[in-house]
Amino acid sequence: MLKVLFASSEVVPFAKTGGLADVSGTLPVALKSLGCDVRVIMPFYKMVEKTAPERKLLAERIEIPIGRKIYLGDVWETNLEPSIPVYLVQCDEFFDRGQLYGTAKGDYRDNAERFIFFSRCALELCIKTEFAPDIIHCHDWQTGLIPAYIKSIYRDLPQFAKTRTVFTIHNIAYQGLFEKEVFQLTGLPADYFNVNGLEYWGKMCILKAALMFSDIITTVSKKYSEEIQTSEFGYGMEGILMSRKDDLYGILNGVDYAEWNPEADKYIAAHYSSSALTRKQKCKEDLLNEYKLPAKLRTKPLLGVISRLADQKGFDLLAQIMDKLMSLDIGFVLLGTGEQKYHDLFETIGRKFPDKVGIRIGYDNTLAHKIEAGCDMFLMPSRYEPCGLNQIYSLKYGTVPIVRATGGLDDTISDYDERKGTGTGFKFEKYSSKELLHTIKRALALYEKKKDWQKLMLDCMACDFSWEQSAQQYMELYRKAIKKVIRQKGEEVKR
C-alpha cells in the first residue's frame, strides 16, 4: 500500500483561508478510496481547539532546533474520515494565534521560524512514530523546506531511504521570501544557500527550495502549469520551472460535492436540482433578505462574488466599471476579506448603491453557500487564478460563472456560444474593464431569454469535477516519483 504523508498549512474543516484548505481536506479522502495509506499533517492553530474537539496526544516534546534554540512540539491526532489520521503540530509560541499567517497589517514576523518548525516536526514525527512514507506530498511554501531536508540532513536516515517528494503549487505568488540571515535557522548545509539552492537575489526563498529539490512538481490546472513558465505569471520562478518542465504537471482540483451541492446543502433555504430548478428562487429571496436588499430585486439578475480581496482577483477591473454596472437593472452581492483598500472600496460602493448592492466584509462559510445558491451569476475576473474553486461550485448551483480566461478558470469554463447555444459560462481574454463589462452584458442579454438561460443553467449543473479523476492522476505521479532514481549525494545542489 502506497504510504503518503500529506503536509499542508491549512485543511478543512480545521483551518482555512482559501482553496488550499479545501484541497487538503478532500483530496486525501479520494486518495484513500484508491487504496492509499494517507496521513495528513498541519499546524495546531488556536481555532483547532474548536474545530478538532476530539483528539488524542500522539507524541510529546519533539525537539526541533531552529538556529541555536530548541523548540518543543507536541503532536495531536484527530481524523478526516474515520480512517484518515490528521496530525496537529502544536507549539503555542508559533501557532496559538487568531490567524494562520498574519493580520490585515501584514504577515507574522516569525513566519520563517513557524514553518521551519512545522516542516521539521513533520519529519521528526515520522521518525518517532516509525512511519516511512513513500511520498511526502507538500503544498505551498509553508512546507517547501521538506524536499530540501529529505535531500540533505534527513537523507541518510533509513526512515526516508525510499521517500520521494511531490510539491504542489497552489499559488506561485506566495513564496516565503526572507532575509538571508534566516537561512541559518533552517539547519540546512551552508552550500544550500546558493543560486542552485535557496538563494533568490540575495534572499532566502522557501518556494525555490521546493522547486529545486522536490522530485515532482504539480500545480492545480494545466493552463496555470503553462502560465507559470512565463515571466508574466511566474513571479520570478519561470526559469526554474522551465528547467524542470519534464517534472511539472497540471492537475485540476476536484470539489467536494458532499459539501457543495444544492440538492443537499445544509446552509441554504431550499434544496433544488436540475429537475426542480424553480426552488432556486427561494434561495435568491433568502439571500436578498440576508443582505437586506429590496424585494424588487427578486426578478432581476443577481451577481455574486465570494473571494479573498487581493489584487490577484481582478477587483480593480470591477471597481472601474461599478458605476456603469449599477446603472443597469441588476443586483450585486459580495462576501470577502483581505486587503484594506478593497474593504474600503466595496464598502463605499455599498453605501453608494444601498438598494442594489450588498457588501459583507468578513469570512462566512454559511453565507458563501447562500451566495452560490441565491445568485444568478458569479463573477471571477481574476488577473491570474491557479485553479479557482468558486466557479466550479457555481456550476453545480446553476449560478453561471463570468470569468477571465486564465489558469483554472480557462480550463473549467467554456465560453457560451450565442449561435450554437453551447458553453458553461462567459469568458473574456484580455485583462480590461471594458472586456469585463462587455462580457457581463452578454450574460445579462441571455438572462432575458429565459429558455436559453435555463438551458445554460442545466448545462452548468451537469458538469462533474469530482475528485476521482484527479486523484487517479496524483496516484500515477506518486508511482512515477517512486520510480525515480535516487540522486547521488550533493548532486541536487549542482542541478
User: Taking CB under 6 A as the rule, which mask of x and - marks residues 21-60 in contact with ligand ADP?
Assistant: -x--------------------------------------
359 with 322: CB under 8 angstroms?
Answer: no
| Residue 389 contacts ligand ADP per CB under 6 A | yes
| Residue 343 contacts ligand ADP per CB under 6 A | no
Q: How far apart are CA 455 and CA 141, in angstroms?
A: 42
Q: Contact with ligand ADP (CB under 6 A): which of 363, 442, 472, 473? A: 363
For every residue of 312-331, DSSP letters joined together read GG-HHHHHHHHHHHHTSS-E
Binding-site size, ligand ADP (CB under 6 A): 17
Reduced to 3 states, what is the DSSP secondary structure of residue 345? helix
| Residue 337 contacts ligand ADP per CB under 6 A | yes
Q: How far apart are CA 12 and CA 7, in angstroms?
A: 13
64 with 31: CB under 8 angstroms?
Answer: no
Tell me the closest approach of the beta carbon of residue 220 to ligand ADP, in angstroms.
8
User: Taking CB under 6 A as the rule, which mask of x and - marks residues 406-445 in contact with ligand ADP?
Assistant: ----------------------------------------
| Residue 359 contacts ligand ADP per CB under 6 A | no
Select from 114, 201, 200, 211 the least CA-distant residue to 169.
211
| Residue 15 contacts ligand ADP per CB under 6 A | no
Residue nearest to ligand ADP (CB): 19
Tell me the closest approach of the beta carbon of residue 246 to ligand ADP, in angstroms.
27
Q: What residues contact 469, with CB distance under 8 A and at least 6 apart?
A: 254
Alpha helices in 256-400 (DSSP H): 280-290, 315-326, 340-352, 365-374, 390-396
| Residue 152 contacts ligand ADP per CB under 6 A | no
Q: How far apart are CA 118 and CA 145, in angstroms?
A: 10
| Phi, psi (degrees; rounded to nearest 5) at 453 | -60, -45
Tell me the closest approach of the beta carbon of residue 392 to ligand ADP, in angstroms.
8
Q: Which C-beta is closer to ligand ADP: that of 19 or that of 197?
A: 19
| Residue 261 contacts ligand ADP per CB under 6 A | no
384 with 427: CB under 8 angstroms?
Answer: no
Alpha helices in 7-136 (DSSP H): 19-33, 48-51, 92-95, 111-128
**Cell numbers representing residue 98 in the block:** 487568531
**Cis amide bond preceding 13, omega within 30:** yes
| Residue 305 contacts ligand ADP per CB under 6 A | no
**Where does this chain touch ligand ADP (CB under 6 A) — which range of 48-56, 57-65, 199-207, 305-313?**
305-313
Tell me the closest approach of the beta carbon of residue 382 to ligand ADP, in angstroms.
8
**Where does this chain touch ligand ADP (CB under 6 A) — which range of 42-50, 387-395, 450-458, 482-490?**
387-395
Q: Which C-beta is closer to ligand ADP: that of 71 or that of 363?
A: 363
Q: Contact with ligand ADP (CB under 6 A): which of 163, 229, 390, 424? A: 390
Q: Contact with ligand ADP (CB under 6 A): which of 116, 335, 359, 413? A: 335
| Residue 112 contacts ligand ADP per CB under 6 A | no
Tell me the closest approach of the beta carbon of residue 12 to ligand ADP, in angstroms.
8
Q: Which C-beta is closer to ligand ADP: that of 55 or that of 223?
A: 223
Select from 316, 325, 374 the least CA-distant residue to 352.
325
Reduced to 3 states, what is the DSSP secondary structure of residue 138? strand
Q: Which C-beta is closer to ligand ADP: that of 18 or that of 65?
A: 18
| Residue 19 contacts ligand ADP per CB under 6 A | yes
Q: Contact with ligand ADP (CB under 6 A): which of 46, 308, 442, 455? A: 308
Q: What residues contact 148, with CB distance under 8 A and at least 6 apart?
A: 186, 188, 192, 197, 198, 209, 210, 212, 213
Q: How far apart are CA 462 and CA 457, in angstroms?
A: 9
Q: Contact with ligand ADP (CB under 6 A): which of 387, 413, 457, 460? A: 387
| Residue 307 contacts ligand ADP per CB under 6 A | yes
Long-range contacts of 419-425 (CB under 8 A, 24+ apart): 421/452, 421/455, 421/456, 422/459, 423/456, 423/459, 424/395, 424/400, 424/456, 424/459, 424/460, 424/463, 425/391, 425/395, 425/400, 425/401, 425/460
**Where does this chain touch ligand ADP (CB under 6 A) — which range of 76-84, 101-109, 144-152, 330-338?**
330-338
84 with 66: CB under 8 angstroms?
Answer: no
| Residue 218 contacts ligand ADP per CB under 6 A | no
CA dihedral 390, 312, 436, 399 (to 10 degrees): 10
| Residue 358 contacts ligand ADP per CB under 6 A | no
Q: Which C-beta is closer to ligand ADP: that of 221 or that of 433?
A: 221
Q: Which residues bind ligand ADP (CB under 6 A)?
A: 18-19, 22, 306-308, 335-337, 363-365, 368, 387-390
